[in-house]
Amino acid sequence: MFLKYEIKCLTNITSNDQIGFGVAKWSHIKEFYETDNTNPNFVFAPCLKQEHLNPNTKQKMKVKLAAQVLSHSVAAGMGTLLRGRHYS
């Protein structure tokens, strides 16, 4: 479902006393993978492979692949890269 649809959720970030909304897209995972694999010194999510980003019909049904994409290490790596962009 995440491959096909965006996920909208409330965030704890507010502006002018209004609650913010966040949007998660599959393109964010792809962008993280591409950025992560171009780093020669450290890879945040070494478990991610090309089959995670472009799964065939059979792979889309594998819980193991979904769990790896939505794992804590991938989320932490994405958060770290985002914070690094924010401060630079």
Q: Each residue of 6-49: pLDDT tens digit?
A: 988 887 766 676 677 888 888 989 998 988 888 778 888 888 88
Residue spans of alpha helices (H) in 4-49: 26-38
- Contact indicator for 50, 37 with CB cutoff of 8 Å: no
For the chain, give the percent of residues with pLDDT over 70.
Answer: 90
In a domain, residue 33? The reply is yes
In a domain, residue 39? The reply is yes
Q: Which of 87, 70, 88, 59 is nearest to 32 (CA)?
A: 70
How many domains would you assign to the chain? 1
In a domain, residue 4? The reply is no
In a domain, residue 5? The reply is no
Q: Which residues contact 31 (CB under 8 A, 6 or more apart)?
A: none
Expressed as residue numbers, the domain containing 39 is 26-87
**Would the pLDDT of 4 be above 80?**
yes
DSSP 23: E
In a domain, residue 1? The reply is no
In a domain, residue 50? The reply is yes
